[in-house]
Each structure stands twice: as structure tokens, then as C-alpha cells.
Amino acid sequence: MISLLQQHSIVASRHAQAYTRPEKPCMYRTRRRGAVARAVVTENIEKSSKIIGSSTAPFPILVNGCMGKMGRSVAESIISSGLTLVPVSFSGKEKPGGNITIGDVDVTIHGSKERETVLLSVINQFPDVMVVDYTVPDAVNANAELYCKLGVPFVMGTTGGDRELLYKTVKSSDVYAVISPQMGKQVVAFLAAMDIMAEQFPGAFSGYHLEVLESHQASKLDASGTAKSVVSSFQKLGVSYDMRRIRKIRDTTKQLQMVGVPEEYLGSHAFHFYCLTSPDDSVSFEFQHNVCGHKMYAEGTVDAAIFLYKKTATLVIAIFQLAQVIQSSGFALTRHSLVEL
């Protein structure tokens, strides 16, 4: 039986046209760069108050890390969803980044040293503001401490940092938070489904051989956490597999020719392939989930912010996982995924 790599090399060539020229490509709106200029925080906030006054959006969202690809995608999703984007942000860097234009909103980027002043100004203007964080790993804990200190509910999409300290900081405060390293709702639902299968049918794939291939942008050095989570479920299903065997594809030529990644998404994609084969090679099962760009994660983040806003009307303070956001939308997930931390 041909290997997993050979199979997907064939599939990639067979479907290259469908991948690279989709009928409705998942493309973001044209990104316009605003003029680089200094601006007073209150001036931009006043502009936003006019916007929110004429909008049906029930609350404003501040996105920290707008200079990054993920932060910008979230900001674009906020606008396209009809919500209000607060026109200020701070980055994880010491120096401010000037201004950027997202949709029809001019956002002023402030350095990390200004973050408390900036956030206090925003809270003064918008007491019900929600914060989304997509800064840098080194800023995770300091930012979370600030959000908790000022009593601002937040969605932490930034990975890294001291996660144990992060949870401890939020638990010791009176702040709502959604903390999740995976903001793709459909991916989270898939992982939950794998958990359910592993829980209800332990050992079902005993003796089967597993091959795993994952492809991400070259800047991602470690193996996919999502792939590791899926492998963990397969192990509970009876498959013997060493996580070190996960095949990481970071070479762009292989990504294009073997994996089938569209060229425009070489710098932003997450492709995963899993192949289970019976001991005698007579039976095989394949699982595949491919993501191009940031749109899915951005939409999941916005849904998390909406979920968080609704939760602030309750009396119970809690840290939530993205699975609970999905479940609130009508998805039924495993008990393990619904535990409040």
C-alpha cells in the first residue's frame, strides 16, 4: 500500500486547480495602510463613540496586537460582523507602531509602556469594553495582570507565556476570560468528537498503523499542538504511536507540490493528514482538516467575545474554553471539553 506522503502527493496534483482557483476564494478585503502619525487616545475614542452611537453593536471590542496578522484579521472580522472596533490598540513592543487603517477605522497603535494609560482611557469612555489579545508570548502574563487589575473581561488568543500563572491570575480576580490556544470553532468541535470516540470506543483501532503529516508556515518550528491532540485520541483508541514521528512539512516546495497548499497561503496555513491502516493493509481510514489563512480563527475569536459579553450579565465568574462558546451556539460537546477551569 502506498505511503501517506505518496497518497497526498497524488491528491495534491489531482486537486491543484480546485485549491488554487476556488470559485469563492477565502480572501480578505483589501488592506489599506493609514498614514503614520501620532494621535491622542481620547481623540480616536471620541470618533469611536460617534460610530457606536449609530451602530447596532451592543458593545465595543478592543483588539491588542492589531499590527500582527491574527490581530488584524480579528479586527476585520469585528467590523464585518457589524460590531464596533475601538480605534486604539497596544502592541507587545516597547515603541508605538503609529497608525493603521482597518476597514473604515483608523487605529492608533501604542507601545507596551502606555498600555495602562490607554486601557484606562478606553474604560472611561466604554465601561462595557471587551478586550481581545493577540500580542506576543512574552506579553501574555503582564497583559492578563493588567486586564484583571482594571476589571476588563478578555479573550486571550495569544499562545505561550506562563499558562499556569495566567490561570492563577484570572482565578484570583473578578474578571471573565476565554483562554484558548485554538480559536477555530470547527477544529475544536473535531477535537471534541475525537475525544468522544476515544472515550466510547477505547481500543477500537488496536494494532492499526498511524501516519501523521502536518504542514504549517516555515516560521512554526514545533509540531502542531492540534496534531498532538488528535494523536492522543488515537492512542486511547489503541494505536501505538510516538509523537516524535509526526511528519512536519515546512519546505515551501513540498507544501506546494506534495501537500497541495495554495501558494498565496504558504505563509498562513494549517494542513493536517492522519492515515490509519490495518495490520494486513486491507483497511484504511483517513482524516484530514486544512485551514487557509486566519478567517476561521478570527471568527471564533469574535464569537468568544460575544459569548463573554453575555456571560458578564451573570453572577458567576469563570474562565471559559472555546468549547463552551461553541456549546452555547447549539453544539453538543463532550463533558471533558465543557469543564470550567
Active site residues per annotation = 216, 220
- Residue 203: Cβ within 10 Å count: 11
Beta-strand pair 319-320/177-179: parallel
Rounded to an integer, what distance in angstroms lies between the CA atom of residue 198 and that of residue 202? 5
Inter-residue contact 89 to 108 (CB < 8 Å): yes
Tell me the C-alpha to C-alpha distance, in Å, between residue 267 and each of 90, 154, 242, 290. Answer: 24, 28, 28, 14
Q: Helix or strand or coil: residue 197?
A: helix
CA angle 204, 207, 211 (to 5 degrees): 95
Say how many C-beta atoms besides its own lie within 10 A of residue 260's C-beta: 22
**Contact present, 186 and 161 (Cβ < 8 Å):** no
Give the dihedral of Cα atoms 179, 310, 299, 118; nearest 10 deg: -70
Q: Which three cell numbers stand for residue 327?
A: 456549546
